[in-house]
Chain A
């Protein structure tokens, strides 16, 4: 009880008004005005940056996708983006649309210079050693097989997991990897799967890289899951994609 009077209501205003009190508070109005002004300036800068880079960013994204598709389907000269819808419909995606409706599977139809279908490309995801491994694979309707893969993104260990893009023997798995459908086109006839190096016996198996079995399995799972979701919807409609529209 060093300051018995501090609870006395009459004393409080005097204490606040005392000259040795902390520096005066800024008026609320000034704070709001400053915050409003700063937010307005910052908003302008952000909108400016967004609009200034919009075209370049969109072009970059398109080029990156095209490059990834051309890599797995070397004969391709142009691509068109489609959605395979749950009911079995195929929907063309216009430029600039990025949202994928739930349940739909995105894929790319690639055409050669004469406008004939050169192959189908789609993305797949599998859980790797460090993080998801996203790959793009090329599908050839004639042989019903995967004819090439490329990595879209991964964070696998350099020198171990990232051999999936450099190891020639591993990539040889994807010259004609069998992804045939069952006779009724309802599902893949065989599960695509990575097996221990040297134990590949069937055309739908992937010889894993020794020491990077986990990453190899991720690639197998990515292809399997994506093909399983896409091909039963796509194959019955292939003739609608046969030439460039």
Chain B
């Protein structure tokens, strides 16, 4: 029982840290770079993707035994597109300003490779609960990645966080950070940071090299 629990938990945390879609797998970069100009936009996009991921993986997993393999991709796309449409309406109902800010990137969640990838690689082979947990982990990891970019870009590029001014009037915003090049700068900086963490961990973990022990 314990190992089963452990496995489920592990599948959940996989997407958040070990296989983080933004910082480790570097997937779905198009929305990541485009909508991460502010913390609110980034977080909303992350949550929208999370919702689509969890719902589509749940439904794909429920239907997994009856979907003939020849038509599985078509089925996944229809399911994903359905939940994207639902999210599209939901965001319009919540805030039109947000809807305008996210623009076409909501509809483009349909072709986000993270979602199709999860459906094919995980949800189609696992029962609904683990499938949804794994999808939730990936979605949360994606949202965290987006937020990490969005927050830094908003603070540097506009001097605000969630629209709240952080610095005095003397602060001159670093506008390039909210322009497209800023997306690449901040993403690069985060990737550097995580690879530095990774190396440090490896260095610490590796014993002073006795045999060919380390993997």
**What residues of chain A have their CB less than 8 Å away from a CB belonging to chain B?**
25-26, 30-31, 34-35, 37-39, 41-42, 45-46, 48-50, 52-53, 56-57, 60-61, 64, 153, 157-160
Contacts and interface: CB of A to CB of B under 8 A. Distances in A.
Contact of A49 (B63, B67, B90): B90
9 closest A-B pairs (Cβ-Cβ)?
A26-B68, A56-B93, A49-B86, A42-B82, A159-B175, A53-B93, A53-B89, A57-B92, A49-B89
A57 B75 CA distance: 29
Contacts of A61: 96
Contacts of B75: 34-35, 38
Contact of B78 (A39, A64, A153): A39
Contact of A34 (B67, B85, B173): B67
Interface residues of B, number: 33
A41 B55 CA distance: 13
Interface in B63-94: 63, 66-71, 74-75, 78-79, 81-83, 85-86, 89-90, 92-94
B157 interface: yes
A53 B178 contact: no
A35 B66 CA distance: 10
Interface of A is mostly: helix
Contacts of A46: 82, 85-86
B164 to A, nearest CB: 17
B2 interface: no
Contacts of B93: 53, 56-57, 60
Interface string B83-116: 1011001101111110010000000000000000
B78 A42 contact: yes
Contacts of A25: 70
B177 to A, nearest CB: 10
Contacts, number: 73
Contact of B90 (A38, A53, A153, A158): A53
Contacts of A45: 82-83, 86
A157 B182 CA distance: 13
A153 B97 CA distance: 9
Contacts of A39: 78
Nearest to B68: A26
Contacts of B158: 158
A57 B98 CA distance: 13
Given A42-B78, A60-B96, A35 B89 contact: no
B89 A50 contact: yes
A56 B89 CA distance: 10
A157 B158 CA distance: 12
Interface in B155-189: 157-158, 173, 175, 178-179
8 contacts: A26-B69, A34-B63, A35-B75, A53-B90, A60-B93, A64-B97, A153-B100, A159-B175
Nearest to A43: B82
A42 B82 CA distance: 6
B59 interface: yes
